[in-house]
Structure 1
Amino acid sequence: MLAASTCLLPLLLQLPMPLPVIIAGAAMTAALMATRGAAPGWLRTVLALAVFGVVVAQGGLHLGRDTACALLAGMLAIKPLELRTVRDARSLLGFALFAPFATFLLDQGPVSLVLGLLGAALVLAALLRLSEQESGLPAGDVRPLARLSAVMRLIAIGLPLALAAFWLFPRLATPLWGLPDLSTARPGLSDEMSPGDWIDLLADDAPALRASFRGPEPAPRDMYWRGPTLMHYDGRTWTASSWLRAAPPAPVEHGATVWDYDLALEPTERNLLVALEMPLALPDGMRAAHEHTLTSERKLDRVTRWQLRSAPPVRFEADLPAAMRQLALQLPEGFNPRTRALARQWRAETADDGALVERALAWIRSDFAYTLTTPLAGRHAVDEFLFEQRAGFCEHFSSAFAILMREAGIPARVVTGYTGGVRNRYGNYWIVRRMDAHAWNEVWLEGRGWVRVDPTAAVAPERIYDTLADRLGGGGAGETVLPIADLGDWVLRGWNDFVLGFDAARQQRMLQRVGLERMETGGLAALFALCAALALGWMTWWIARSEYERDPLLRAWHRLDRRYARRGLGRARHEPALAWAERVLAAHPGEHALLALTRRFVAARYAPASSDATLITALRAHRPTPETRQ
């Protein structure tokens, strides 16, 4: 039960609440009931249907890989109710091994691996114990350390083959198949934004990306990680323009400052990417829409790495096409009348677009506050925000600012992404968390093109440019927690780089270090087959010699057998020791000493509590009689 529970643990840690608590409770209930014998069939059926109902209630009818993993965890939890015989126990342990394997469909982190290896080791130890029970050996006859040593030897036997498969098996640039989608989406950026959508995202401190700079680094206030650009507004929701995805990227004139960096993006189950504004060129597998929304050619279901160069924009689409202008001024009728009236009033008072933008920022700076606790918006959400609440977060500020600008005749849009970052004190990289998600605006100004305007920074610059330590309250507990968090993230980054990031390119670089230049898939497959064959041969040799190497009595006995085999009197593999000695004595009557030694060997080997201190020496010294030699 301990082995099965340990295998189940890493899978439970990846399931959304409250499923882990419910399944863990079902597992403990099943374990207690199993001590009284196997449950009746009707009860097992009821519990299986109950587990299925709970999982479906949590994930819905959409069967994703998280739903399938939850069903596996639930069925494994109630599996002890079927325990009757040793065969049932072996079935439980065999099915338990599916749990850590399923965990890797949801998470490939080092904690999942360590817990999975621990569960597998305990399963091996439990299987050994079951074998000991079937053999009739009392529990006290096999020490726990001896059983642990046997498990470690089993792991060591398979390690060379596992390393050969990891290092040498051909890595494909694109997988042969993809993983099923999750039934519940992970928090992250999307191509739409509605009131209240970002509450959970802004409270999530999980990493979103890690960036390592080669050379100059931007200041945190310049770290705008550009994501989806939202153009359409229907009165409540901002969405990306579908037809702009196929249009060529708008021209950008970059500044003199250039940043070279490596970007590692955490999986999001989407194909949306972010990059520091604005990329100079795009690597293979990345493409840009007209407004420079970046996407990947395949879904981001694992940690992905990108090498990029970015430079701040000086002019961004300085010549705005008429269709783009119309799209960037579009507003639905019947929404937010007070906001639109205010924008028309401001436009009547000034013809200078830049002055109008500054007027809006000054109003926000003087009369508004930043907060995550906002009531649910009604039909006229922007009117409520600007004239009643006057408090909100980036979602509210960016949406209201874009509507004000559009009604005033200034093309505007909402840009989403991340801002800032925190340097890891143990590694030379920056980490950006999901809670750093942000929405800002771009307005189109004559001669400059699209210009970034961040109304949230006008009212709460500390929200945009702060660090994680600031959010934790400065000193005290924050200073104690951060070094530990930094160390843990540094270890996780190393795991991502050297294990999860071991792709085809890194495999080729490893082979080049040992003198093997670029190898095609066929040559790599042949090299793997050779190393796998050597590993299998080593495994066979280890297993074949293990019995002889561990027991000096057996070593001495088999040496004695080989001496007689050279005279044509060797023992057959199926032949018992005493039967062999009697056969030799019948053929050569002078071999009474061999029969006596064999009886001593059988007693020492199989009789309980038997001890013969001189037997090994006697076996080593014995030789066939002269007549046997002839």
Structure 2
Amino acid sequence: MAERPSPPLDAGSRAWSLAASAVCLVPLLLQLPGRAGIGIGTLALLVAAVSWRFRVPGWLRLLLALALIGLVLSTSRFAFGRDTGCAMLAAMLALKPVELFTLRDGRSLLGFALFAPFATFLLDQGPLSLLLGLGGAALVLAALLRLAELESASPAATAPGPWRRLATVARLMAVGLPLALAAFWLFPRIGTPLWGVPERAVARPGLSDTMTPGEWIDLLGDDSPALRVQFLGAAPPREQMYWRGPVLVHYDGRSWTRADWLDGLPPAEATHGTPVWEYEVEAEPTDRRHVVALELPLAAPEGVRMAHDYSMSAERPLSSLRRWRMRSAPPRTLEPELAPMHRGLALRLPEGFNPRAVALARQWRQEAGADDAAIVRRMLEWIRGEFVYTLATPLAGRHAVDEFLFEQQQGYCEHYSSAFVVMMRAAGIPARVVTGYVGGYYNRFGDYWVVRRMDAHAWAEVWLAGRGWVRVDPTAAVAPERIYDTVDDLPQGGFDSLVRMRPVTDFGDWMRRGWNDFVLGFDAARQQRLLQPLGIDRLSPSQLIVLFSALGGAALAWMLWLVARGERERDPVLRAWRRLGTRYARLGLGREPHEPAGRWVSRVLAARPGATRLAALSARFERWRYAAGGGDAGSARALARELLAHRPDRMQAPEKSR
């Protein structure tokens, strides 16, 4: 038997299908790398415009598919992961409208489009992605309703406008909301995912185990939040907010790296001063394990390990939002007794690199004698008097420190900290590079501090007798009037615009923090403490399953009742027809559930020959219900009114059998 051909789409149904798939594609494009997102979005618009009027030949479809695959792979540098897979999905969805001509094509496109918002959540779980994804899913359901109306060819069904159709979808989504909420709050969670999701092909910005000149340019240009910190009491001055991260000690002439073996040693001896700051850190996801804390942390939080140099790392990569409660205090002394092995590590320099810097540092040592602090002050005075700060620096050569100190004399924190530590080591002073963040921006809406990725910073620590490791920030020694690339250097009009927009951005970040706390931060530990206000300290997995089963079952029962009730009473003509049958049932002439309208009317006419009005109404109902082109919305409303108004004549009731 030959398969029945799928009916063609009309213009309205095609428009609904294209609009729904486009809205589904938008949140996914926003999460892709800029060039890939713009390229795929532009191609999607061109494909939709061309395919609206012409049928694209098969060879051109193949060329477009190959071009998209090449764009995606080149953008991801042929690395396979979540980014590459999601970009490939977006590319195929952008190309799918070339096949949009029949009802089957429309349903295929809409079904495929639903994958896009779900794929978005593999890359981002923010509120904007959720809202855009829900909007796309709602439009897809509305478009599927439109296709169902087209297939039924019922004028009464096609009469409702787009807002009525969207309202129907909203009601359906509201019906399923209680079950979704029960699953979110009560379905037992575990610490790690059930499935192995590969890491993203494009790494998220974050602090690294290494520091190489020029490596931080992308990080310093990223104004997205890295941390949100709320102090439980007084906050330190902004200039004292040094957020300690990885400590780098190995130097090969170009790059600085960590000494991993220090992670296995207990934290060095330290005495803390006052005041003690207590605060909560909310760290945005990154592909690293590094945990930063205000200098100097008193202890590592649960699930975090503190190394000998007071840098901290988590047990697993911070691929999701994490939150810790910490306490810190400024150090009075840090490792006042330096072991010979540690001293040698903090003095080591590679042979054959930066001869001019090494020679100058040794000269300073001869002139200063045993006064290490004098050498530190001399270096800072040199930087303060002759150096400037800028991100626009040329790529360093073999002798990077020599080029920076004696030729360029301009750069940013990577250059200053690296050159400072090299000079100190060459002068015989143990020194190391510390990376992390500095400062923060106060959000008055939520009473917390935002530390952005562009606040990433590198400074130095030198070891001085009697004090141990002492923080020295050579970048801060640069004269303020010589610093480039700051907000003050923006055109005044642009700066005023940023100031005016600041309340809006602050409010948006406060909303995002609330989302993080309410949704993304709801992990297994918080779920187990869900009923603490009711006196239940901890819910076991079995208790969660019982509670979820009870509330989920109640939600399902409510959903089924609403759906069944809606099916009975949704259409006004059907509702009026059933009420008419109920009126005749009071006279013993009710319509049986299995009985067609024509047969029922024949039975009524046999008992009541004068019921000609019922016969006319029944004929009109059959045409409306079953005939193609049975009438418009106006005639359907008129039929419903007449069915409701009709009353059987009680005086002609049939005699009941004795």
The two structures have a TM-score, normalised by structure 1, of 0.93
1:81-92 to structure 2, matched below 5 A, reads 81-92=98-109
Flag the 1:469–1:569 CA change in 2: closer, same or farther, 3 A: farther
Is 1:277 the counterpart of 2:295 in the alignment?
yes
Moved more, 7-16 or 534-543: 534-543
Q: CA deviation at 1:504?
A: 2.7
Does residue 359 in structure 1 map to residue 378 in structure 2? yes
SS in 2 for 1:264: strand
Looking at structure 1, the residues matched to 399 and 293 of structure 2 have their Cα atoms a distance apart, in angstroms, of 34
Question: Shift of the alpha carbon at 1:135?
Answer: 1.6
1:201 to partner: Cα distance: 1.5
CA distance in 2, matches of 1:298, 1:144: 48
Query: Is the aligned partner of 1:120 residue 2:137?
Result: yes
Q: Which residue of structure 2 aligns with residue 142 of structure 1?
A: 160
From 14, 27, 44, the equivalent of 2:44 is: 27
Residue 13 of structure 2 corresponds to which residue in structure 1?
none
Mapping 1:176-191, distance limit 5 Å: 176-191=194-209
Match for 2:442: what amino acid? Answer: R
Q: Which moved more, 1:264-273 or 1:67-76?
A: 264-273
Q: Which residue is 2:508 aligned to?
A: 488
8 Å Cα contact 1:560/1:622 also seen in 2: no
For residues 150-185 of structure 1, the C-alpha deviation after alignment (integer angstroms, 9 at most, x for no partner) is 121121122111111122222223333453112122
Alpha-carbon distance between aligned partners in 2 of 1:574 and 1:68, rounded to the nearest angstrom: 52
C-alpha separation in 1, matches of 2:23 and 2:305 = 44
Q: Cα–Cα, structure 1 residues 628 and 215, in superposed 2: closer, same or farther, change >3 Å?
A: farther
Is 1:578 aligned with 2:598?
yes
Contact 1:422 1:468 in 2 (8 A): no
Query: What amino acid is aligned across from residue 63 of structure 1 in structure 2?
Result: F
- 1:271 alignment partner AA: R
Return the alpha-carbon distance in structure 1 between the equivalents of residues 534 and 587 of structure 2: 50
Alignment match of 1:305 (pick from 310, 315, 323): 323
- Deviation track 1:234-287 (CA, whole Å, cap 9, x = no partner) reads 000001112112222222211131111111111111111111111112221111
Q: Does residue 319 in structure 1 map to residue 347 in structure 2? A: no
- Paired residues, what number? 626
Residue of structure 2 equivalent to 1:109: 126
Return the alpha-carbon distance in structure 2 between the equivalents of residues 4 and 510 of structure 1: 38
CA 1:450–1:543: 2 relative to 1, 3 Å: same
Q: Quick one: distance in 2 between partners of 1:558 and 1:10?
A: 45
Q: Is the 8 A contact 1:214 1:260 kept in 2?
A: yes
Q: Distance in 1 between matches of 2:454 and 2:361?
A: 32
User: Quick one: distance in 2 between partners of 1:338 and 1:47?
Assistant: 57
Contact 1:382 1:399 in 2 (8 A): yes
Do structure 1's residue 439 and structure 2's residue 467 form an aligned pair? Answer: no
Q: Deviations over 1:58-113 (max 9, x none)?
A: 11222010111100000100011122321111110111111111111111111111
Instruction: Give the secondary-structure state (helix, strand or coil) at the position aligned to 1:130.
Output: helix
SS of the counterpart of 1:229? strand
The amino acid of 1:323's aligned partner reads M
Q: Alpha carbons of 1:314 and 1:366: their partners in 2 closer, same or farther (altered >3 Å)? A: same
Partner SS state of residue 309, structure 1: strand
Secondary structure of the residue aligned to 1:413 is: strand
Match of residue 497, structure 2, among 458, 477, 502 = 477
Greater shift in the superposed pair: 242-251 or 385-394: 242-251
Q: 2:427 aligns to what? A: 408
Q: SS at the partner of 1:189?
A: coil
* Letter matched to residue 526 of structure 1: V
d(CA) in 2 for partners of 1:575, 1:245: 82
> Which is worse superposed, 242-251 or 150-159?
242-251
Where 2:471 maps in the other structure, the secondary structure is strand
Q: CA 1:407–1:520 in structure 2 vs 1: closer, same or farther (change >3 Å)?
A: same
The answer as to 2:558 corresponding to 1:538 is: yes
Instruction: Measure, in 2, the Cα distance between the counterparts of 1:624 and 1:564.
Output: 12
| Aligned twin of 1:548 | 568
How many Å apart are 1:481 and its aligned residue?
2.1
- Asked if 1:296 is matched to 2:324, the reply is no
Separation in 2, partners of 1:68, 1:624: 74
Root mean square deviation, CA, Å: 2.7
Supply the AA of the counterpart residue of 2:65.
A
Structure 2 residue matching 1:18: 3-state secondary structure: helix
Contact 1:402 1:441 in 2 (8 A): yes
- Deviation of the 1:44 alpha carbon: 2.2
1:573-612 Cα shifts (integer Å, max 9, x gaps): 4432222343566xxx424467853651451462533635
Task: Select 1:60's aligned residue among 46, 69, 77.
Answer: 77
- 533-542 or 207-216, larger mean C-alpha shift: 533-542
Return 5-14 or 504-513, whichever deviates more: 504-513
The reply on whether 1:255 has 2:283 as its aligned counterpart is no
Letter in 2 for 1:93: L
Q: Distance in 1 between matches of 2:358 and 2:374?
A: 18
Q: Contact 2:461/2:470 (CA < 8 Å) preserved in 1?
A: yes
Tell me the SS of whatever aligns to 2:197: coil
SS of the equivalent of 1:211 reads strand
Contact preservation (8 Å) 1:578, 1:599: no
**Contact 1:410-1:444 within 8 A present in 2 as well:** yes
Contact 2:219 2:454 in 1 (8 A): yes
Among 483, 498, 512, which residue is 2:532 paired with? 512
Q: Is the 8 A contact 2:583 2:647 kept in 1?
A: no
Tell me, in whole angstroms, the C-alpha distance in 2 between the residues paired with 1:341 and 1:257. 42
Match of 1:418 among 437, 453, 467: 437
CA–CA distance in 2 between the matches of 1:61 and 1:256?
52
Residues 1:472 and 1:180: Cα distance change in structure 2 (over 3 Å): farther
For 1:308, give the aligned amino acid.
M
Equivalent pair of 1:268/1:300 in contact (CA under 8 Å):
yes
1:592-607 equivalent positions in 2, closer than 5 A: 592=609, 597=614, 599-604=616-621, 606=624, 607=630
**1:69 alignment counterpart:** 86
- How far apart are the structure 1 equivalents of 2:91 and 2:161? 34
- How many Å separate the matches in 2 of 1:506 and 1:594? 68
214, 238, 243: which one aligns with 1:220: 238
Instruction: Write the distance in 2 (CA, Å) between the matches of 1:515 and 1:283.
Output: 26
Aligned AA (1:52): I
> How far off is 1:356 after superposition?
1.5
Q: Secondary structure at the match of 2:213?
A: coil
Pick aligned residue for 1:616 from 628, 637, 644: 644
| Counterpart-to-counterpart distance in 2, 1:158 and 1:463 | 61
Which residue identity does 1:478 align to in structure 2?
L
Identify if the C-alpha distance between structure 1 residues 552 and 48 changes in structure 2 by more than 3 Å, giving closer, same or farther: closer
Deviates more, 1:548-557 or 1:265-274: 548-557
Structure 2: segments with no counterpart, 5+ residues = 1-17, 625-629
The answer to whether the 8 Å contact 2:608/2:654 transfers is: no
CA 519–624 in structure 1, closer or farther in 2 if over 3 Å, else same: farther
User: What residue ranges of structure 1 are gaps of 5+ in the alignment?
Assistant: none
Instruction: Name 2:248's counterpart in structure 1.
Output: 230
* Aligned residues with identical type, % of pairs: 59
- 1:395 and 2:423 are equivalent in the alignment: no
Deviation digits for residues 371-430 of structure 1 (CA, Å, limit 9, x no counterpart): 111111111110011111111111001000100111111110000000001101211000
SS of the equivalent of 2:191 reads coil
Could you tell me whether the CA contact under 8 Å between 1:582 and 1:595 is conserved in 2? no
State how far apart, in whole Å, the 2-side matches of 1:88 and 1:307 are: 54
Structure 1 residues 590 and 572: CA distance shift in structure 2, 3 A: closer
Question: Under a length normalisation based on structure 2, what TM-score does the superposition of the two structures give?
Answer: 0.89
Sort the Cα spacing of 1:568 and 1:413 in 2 relative to 1 into closer, same or farther, 3 A. farther
* C-alpha contact (below 8 Å) 2:598/2:618 kept by paired residues: no
Match of 1:528 in 2: 548
Q: Which residue is 1:627 aligned to?
A: 655
Instruction: Kindly indicate whether residue 61 of structure 2 is the aligned counterpart of residue 48 of structure 1.
Output: no
Asked if structure 1 preserves the Cα contact closer than 8 Å seen for 2:25 and 2:90, the reply is yes
Secondary structure of 2:447's aligned partner: coil
Matched residue, 1:451: 470
